Amino acid sequence: MAGRRSLAPSSQVSFPRARTSLARTSLARTVLPPLAALLVLLIGWQLYVMLSAVEPRILPSPLRVVEQGWRQREIIADHALATLTVTLIGFGISLVVAWVLAIWIDFVPGLRTAVLPLLVASQTLPIIAIAPLMILWFGFGLLPKVLVIVLVTFFPIALGLIEGFSAAGPRAGALLRAMGASRWQQFRYVRLPAALPRFFTALRIGITYAVVGAIFAEYVGAVEGLGIYMSLQKNSFRTDLVLAAVAVTAALSVSLFLVTYLVERLVVPWNRAGAGRG
């Protein structure tokens, strides 16, 4: 026992250090290769445009995209801000809808079998056909865009939660019941924390859908936003500015994606720790 006890402090001190260096190398390993690949692609693209003298209207060089985009930076930033706002509002509402729905399904027996097929069906609605109708019904304001975002994102999140709530298994539930736990206590002590890893996986899928959904809804009709900006620039044959807006959109998606990792690290620290070692 003495040996075990003396081992404990040193092993616990070394864990965090091992963890951060591991995180740093794995970050470098996950971030550097895609960046290098992107760079190679851009150089190839630049060379191709220079050598083939293709019209910028058809295919502008990446340098031209950056240069023209930079000139329009303030306008693009305004549109990006509008898109970000719509995305966050829509996604926020989607999260509320998904949580309420998932908890409701979790607490009411039999609801799952009744509601899940409807949820699946809602995902087969062709968004290309629905988005213009939304604009038609609800105008160019916030509402139709938010509805599109909610429609495309709540499902993966709700499903992740519904499945996550039972991830700890029936035996964990039995243990809690034997302790005398109420249904609510079972939810709070086991079902909710057990669902969090899956929730964050679903959150990452959802947030990328949300940006795409926002751009799409704007593209169909809006006053401001990257989507409508792309649409207008395309109509005036400014392919370079369309691509500049695309690049900003990509940067936006990636940033939001990374934010979910940060939040996950704060909310479910055990998941990383457990995954790292076993």
Residues making contact with other proteins (CB under 8 A): 1, 4-5, 8-9, 11-12, 15, 168, 171-172, 174-181, 185, 189-190, 193-194, 196, 268, 270-271, 273-274, 277-278
Nearer to other proteins, 5 or 29 (CB): 5
Crossing angle of the two packed helices 269-277 and 239-267, in degrees rounded to 10: 90
With respect to other proteins, which residue has the nearer C-beta, 12 or 124?
Answer: 12
Which has the closest alpha carbon to 260: 197, 213, 216?
197
**Least distance to other proteins from the beta carbon of 111, Å?**
23
Q: Which is nearer to other proteins, 56 or 193 (CB)?
A: 193
Tell me how far, at minimum, the Cβ of 108 lies from other proteins, in Å: 22
Q: 83 is written with which tokens?
A: 């898109």
Distance CA 101, CA 115 (A): 9
Residue 125 CB neighbours (<10 A) = 11
User: Least separation, in Å, of the C-beta of 270 and other proteins?
Assistant: 5
Cα 260 to Cα 160: distance, rounded to the nearest angstrom: 15
CB 252: neighbour CB atoms within 10 A?
18
Q: Which is nearer to other proteins, 22 or 273 (CB)?
A: 273
Q: Which is nearer to other proteins, 57 or 265 (CB)?
A: 265
- Nearest approach, Cβ of 206 to other proteins (angstroms)? 22
Minimum distance of other proteins from residue 117's CB (angstroms): 24
| Residue 278 half-sphere exposure toward CB, CA atoms < 13 A | 3
Question: 197 vs 213, which CB is nearer to other proteins?
Answer: 197
Integer Cα distance of 104 and 110 in angstroms? 11
Shortest distance (Å) from residue 12 CB to other proteins: 7
Q: Determine the distance from the C-alpha atom of residue 110 to the mean position of all C-alpha atoms in its chain, rounded to a whole number.
A: 30
The label of the residue with tokens 């005398």 reads 180
Nearest in space to 194 (alpha carbons), one of 177, 172, 174: 172
User: Closest separation between CB of residue 266 and other proteins, Å?
Assistant: 13
Q: Do 217 and 227 meet the contact criterion of CB atoms below 8 Å apart? A: yes
CB closer to other proteins out of 208 and 271? 271
**Cβ neighbours of 216 (radius 10 Å):** 17
Comparing CA positions, the residue from 66, 120, 53, 93 lying closest to residue 245 is: 66
